[in-house]
Amino acid sequence: MTKAYLIHGTSTRDDDWFPWLEEAAKPLIDIDRLWLPNPDWPIQSEWNQAVDKQISPHNGLILIAHSLGCITALRYIEQHQINDARLLLVGAFDKSLPAYPQLDKFMVPAPKYQQILPKISKATIITAKDDPIAPYKNSIDIAKKIRANLIVQDHGGHFLSSDGFTTFPLALRELTKIAI
């Protein structure tokens, strides 16, 4: 069975579509939904340490990330010796969000894409034009920087349960594509 790791954003590992994806991906893909401290008031160093404790860097690593988890996933790839990394990023952003100044410190320094790009073999980014949290153009910019397949939906918001996303068949399809 292929192993993948899910890095959530400012929700928790048990929110939104994450538990559904874990079950829906079986038996092909075993997803480990990571635990991250203080998701409402995240501190970058604490999240980086938590990810490091839960994932051993290895070639062929598969990361699924949502929202603030996306920059965390990119930093993980940047900081470790990994080849053939595969990424599924949903609602990705790497810039400060004016509506969420409490995340400003988390956003610096910016990921070093010149170090990340050579480590990635497959990547897909899913975003929505009506995302009220992370402007979809941020996802477009990241997709260009990592040469990811980009899926822009007209509707989907930030892909939260409050946006109707307790299941996410598109994420399952795209995960299957990058995992194989």
Task: Tell the residue number behind the tokens 């969420």, with chain if given.
Answer: 100
Catalytic residue list contains 84 = no
Mapping DSSP to helix (H, G, I), strand (E, B) and coil, where does residue 145 land? helix
Q: Yes or no: say if 156 and 133 are a contact pair by the CB < 8 Å rule.
A: no
Q: Yes or no: say if 61 and 83 are a contact pair by the CB < 8 Å rule.
A: no
11, 15, 67, 163: the catalytic one is 67
Catalytic residue list contains 67 = yes
Query: What would the two tokens of residue 83 be?
Result: 């080849």
8, 66, 158, 163: the catalytic one is 158
Query: What would the two tokens of residue 141 be?
Result: 């910019």
15, 94, 131, 163: the catalytic one is 131
Catalytic residue list contains 45 = no
Query: What would the two tokens of residue 135 be?
Result: 């402007």
Q: Yes or no: say if 146 and 75 are a contact pair by the CB < 8 Å rule.
A: no
Amino acid type, 84: D
Active site residues: 67, 131, 158
